[in-house]
Amino acid sequence: MIFMEENIAENEKVMNARKEMDKLVADSLKRYKLKPNALFVKLSDVTKHIAKKPVDWARTNSVWPMQFGLACCAMELMDFGSSRIDAERNGYLLFRATPRQCDAMIVAGWVTKSVIPELKRLYEQMLEPRYVIAYGECATSGGPWWESYNIIKGIDQVLPVDVYVAGCPPRPESLFQALIKLQKKIGGVVAKD
Amino acid sequence: MSETKINIGPIHPSTHGVLRLVVTVDGDTIKEVEPHIGFLHRGVEKLAESRMYMQNIVYMEKLDYAAPMAHQELYVSTVEKLLGIEVKERAEYVRVVLLELQRIASHLLWLGTMCNDIGQMFSMFMWTMRDRDMILRLLQEATGQRMFYVNMRLGGVNRDLPAGFEDDTYKVLDSIEHSLGEYKDFLESNPVFMERLKNVGVLSRENAIRLGVTGPVLRGSGIDYDVRRNSSYYKYTKLGFRPAVETGGDSFARYKVRMKEMQESISLVRKALEEMPKGDALGLPIKLIGAVPKEKEAIVKRELPRGEGMMYMVADKQRPYRLAIRAPAFINLAALDHISRGQRLADLFAILGSLDLVMADVDK
């Protein structure tokens, strides 16, 4: 029920935005001395302003993570997607095998020097807006391998990270929490259970 | 026809980790498979030289994240042999229970992922993950951790089995035994499953010995060799352990060996819980200033879920001077090129799945 009420509130916000938009359009028509049917002048501004809230809402509630496991944390990532936790119920749909269909990259495991180019390439293949979650100690700070000669000390040295999850390995529930944090960061209305 | 080279990986959903395969194909037939490894290399053997004996367990568990208990037990046994410490009798039974539960969990994970690989049987994956989760809950009850237990101590375990553990275990084992029977009926009456595994990736008896493969891959080729019986550690012989052997040598034989092994592990856990003597199972506490080793070097082998694991350790005063690990997955990966030649490209992942590799174990 909370969700519905928030939806109503959101609708009101969108309506208000539309009214503002009408005003903006009228102003700009006046300023550029245009006839009323020449709407295309500020069309990009118009769409951006009107569509921001609905698009954010949609993005928030369908985060598609990439099926990409590096090491131990990938076991918990599998558990996150399977029967007990069932991530789909909160909008994290099926794990996609290709980066081109994904919104979030969950880096689950230690990153060696030879994986860095692959990681960067996968990140660049993802469409914007894209988000990165550093899942586990190794991806956050190097974890137990901080002395190793072949491991980088945290993926934030190569990629911009949105959410860090601590633990070795973190329980699947903490990944759930991380994705809720990510949803809040994206900025739309978060579905509550 | 002309030959083409196809690159698969290093990040690919079916390689179970970070493995790059360069496959030479003629049409649809595989001519050669060249695995490129080392994407997860982190230098475990070198790191172990800079830590005290009992600090290294953390690294050893991450060698094989599908079965951490087996690797830490192997490491702790090596240290025990080096320091000359006897394992308490109850602790032997506790270790057998934990190891066999871990073996079932590891094989269930393999079953789910392999079925996923050979034809998007995703419901199978969901079911085996459900069963695996029940075992993880048991292990969590016994050790306090969900995945990396750090539970083995010199001469015993960190925690004895908690009260009520036996009843919980019997319930879980009954449930898993029931579902294993269901999976067996379900899979072996499925024409797609049989078509994709039967006579695919045949490894003959001679070549299995020549390539040095171990574990279910070796037993699938008709060789009756299991470290649990052949070097008879803990109470395996007393508990009436019999290795599962199949003569087919193909992917289906490996599947059958693992299914039988799960059944065998279930009965082993039951027997071990029944025959477990009362007493003390706790090992020595971790001390940063360790004991002085009695022997110069030690070598221990154990039957891990993926095959025969071996650790060789040369002693220094407080820490290993040198640690060498024989990773079963690394040796089994060497067989991939041999058994996939002449097969279809689409069968490559059925074969890879039937070898049951963990890339962290391969790369060390």
> pLDDT digit string (tens) for A105-115?
888 888 888 88
Q: How far apart are CA A20 and CA A48, in angstroms?
A: 13
Q: Are residues A41 and A115 in the same domain?
A: no
Give A31's contacts (C-beta < 8 A, 6+ positions apart).
none
Q: Does B38 touch chain A (CB under 8 A)?
A: yes
Distance from CA of B247 to the nearest CA of A (A): 32
Mean pLDDT of chain B: 87
Q: How far apart are CA B172 and CA B135, in angstroms?
A: 7
Q: Are residues A77 and A165 in the same domain?
A: yes
Query: What is the crossing angle of helices A73-81 and A172-186, to 10°?
Result: 70
Which whole number is the average pLDDT over B108-113? 90
Q: How far apart are CA B115 and CA B125, in angstroms?
A: 7
* Three-point CA angle B275, B79, B317, nearest 5°: 155
Do B146 and A67 make contact, defined as CB atoms within 8 angstroms? no
* Contact by Cβ (8 Å): A66, A127: no
Q: Is residue A8 part of a domain?
A: yes
Query: What confidence category does residue A2 fall into, taking pLDDT thresholds of 50, 70 and 90?
Result: very low
pLDDT at B256 over 80: yes
Q: Are residues A114 and A150 in the same domain?
A: yes
Q: Which among B68, B49, B132 is positioned nearest to B361, based on CA atoms?
A: B68
Chain B residue numbers with beta carbons less than 8 Å from the beta carbon of A76 are 147
Q: Are residues A28 and A53 in the same domain?
A: yes
Do B109 and A75 make contact, defined as CB atoms within 8 angstroms? yes
Query: What confidence category does residue A144 fall into, taking pLDDT thresholds of 50, 70 and 90?
Result: confident
Q: How far apart are CA B356 and CA B311, in angstroms?
A: 21
Q: Are residues A43 and A95 in the same domain?
A: no
pLDDT at residue A1, as a whole number: 38
Look at chain B and report how many structural domains it folds into: 1
Across the A/B interface, how many CB contacts are shorter than 8 Å?
Answer: 83
Which whole number is the average pLDDT over B323-352? 88
Distances (CA, A) of A31 to A19, A34, A46, A50: 18, 8, 16, 21
Q: Are residues A109 and A159 in the same domain?
A: yes
Q: Are residues A102 and A179 in the same domain?
A: yes
Q: Are residues A28 and A94 in the same domain?
A: no
pLDDT digits (tens, 9 = 90+) for B50-73: 888 888 888 888 888 888 888 899
pLDDT at B8 over 50: yes
SS3 per-residue string spanning chain B: CCEEEEEECCECCCCCCECEEEEEEECCEEEEEEEECCCCCCCHHHHHCCCCHHHHHHHHHCCCCCCHHHHHHHHHHHHHHHHCCCCCHHHHHHHHHHHHHHHHHHHHHHHHHHHHHHHCCHHHHHHHHHHHHHHHHHHHHHHCCCCCCCCEECCEECCCCCCCHHHHHHHHHHHHHHHHHHHHHHHHCCHHHHHHHCCCCCCCHHHHHHHCCCCHHHHHCCCCCCHHHHCCCCCCCCCCCCCCCCCCCCHHHHHHHHHHHHHHHHHHHHHHHHHCCCCCCECCCCCCCCCCCCCCEEEEEEEECCEEEEEEEEECCCCEEEEEEECHHHHHHHHHHHHHCCCEHHHHHHHHHHHCCCHHHHHC
Q: Does A118 touch chain B (CB under 8 A)?
A: yes
Q: Is residue A156 part of a domain?
A: yes
Query: What confidence category does residue B345 fall into, taking pLDDT thresholds of 50, 70 and 90?
Result: confident
Q: Are residues A82 and A48 in the same domain?
A: no
Q: How far apart are CA B120 and CA B13, in angstroms?
A: 12
Examine the predicted complex and report whether its ipTM is higher than 0.85: no
Strand, coil or helix: A133: strand
Q: Does B126 touch chain A (CB under 8 A)?
A: yes
* Contact by Cβ (8 Å): B115, B124: yes
Q: Is residue A162 part of a domain?
A: yes
Structure tokens at B232: 């008879």
Do A72 and B360 make contact, defined as CB atoms within 8 angstroms? yes
Q: How far apart are CA A134 and CA A166, in angstroms?
A: 9
Q: How far apart are CA B208 and CA B192, in angstroms?
A: 27
Query: What confidence category does residue A45 fall into, taking pLDDT thresholds of 50, 70 and 90?
Result: low
pLDDT at A85 over 50: yes
* Contact by Cβ (8 Å): A115, B18: yes
Q: Does A115 touch chain B (CB under 8 A)?
A: yes
Q: How far apart are CA B24 and CA B341, in angstroms?
A: 10
Domain boundary, last residue among A35, A60, A85: A60
Q: Are residues A41 and A87 in the same domain?
A: no
pLDDT at residue A9, as a whole number: 72
Q: Does B179 touch chain A (CB under 8 A)?
A: no
What domain range includes position B321? 3-363
Do B146 and A171 make contact, defined as CB atoms within 8 angstroms? yes
Q: Are residues A26 and A96 in the same domain?
A: no
Q: How far apart are CA B324 and CA B302, in angstroms?
A: 14
Q: How far apart are CA B113 and CA B107, in angstroms?
A: 10
Partners of A134 in beta bridges = A107, A164
pLDDT at residue A62, as a whole number: 80
Interface of B with A in 76-105 (CB under 8 A): none
Q: Does A76 touch chain B (CB under 8 A)?
A: yes
Structure tokens at B72: 């830490």
pLDDT at A193 over 50: no
Look at chain A and report how many structural domains it folds into: 2
pLDDT at residue B176, as a whole number: 92
Q: Are strands B297-304 and A104-108 parallel, antiparallel or unpaired?
A: unpaired
Query: What confidence category does residue A40 fall into, taking pLDDT thresholds of 50, 70 and 90?
Result: low
Q: Are residues A96 and A182 in the same domain?
A: yes
Residue A190: what residue type? V
Structure tokens at B340: 């996939």
Q: How far apart are CA B166 and CA B138, in angstroms?
A: 10
Q: How far apart are CA B110 and CA A145, in angstroms?
A: 27
pLDDT at residue B173, as a whole number: 92
Strand, coil or helix: A65: strand
Identify the residue with better confidence: B10 or B15: B10
What domain range includes position A47? 2-60
* Residue B82 CB coordination number (10 Å): 22
Residue A121: what residue type? R
Which CATH number is B241's domain given?
1.10.645.10
Structure tokens at A120: 């960067």
Q: Does B127 touch chain A (CB under 8 A)?
A: yes
pLDDT digits (tens, 9 = 90+) for B202-211: 888 998 999 9
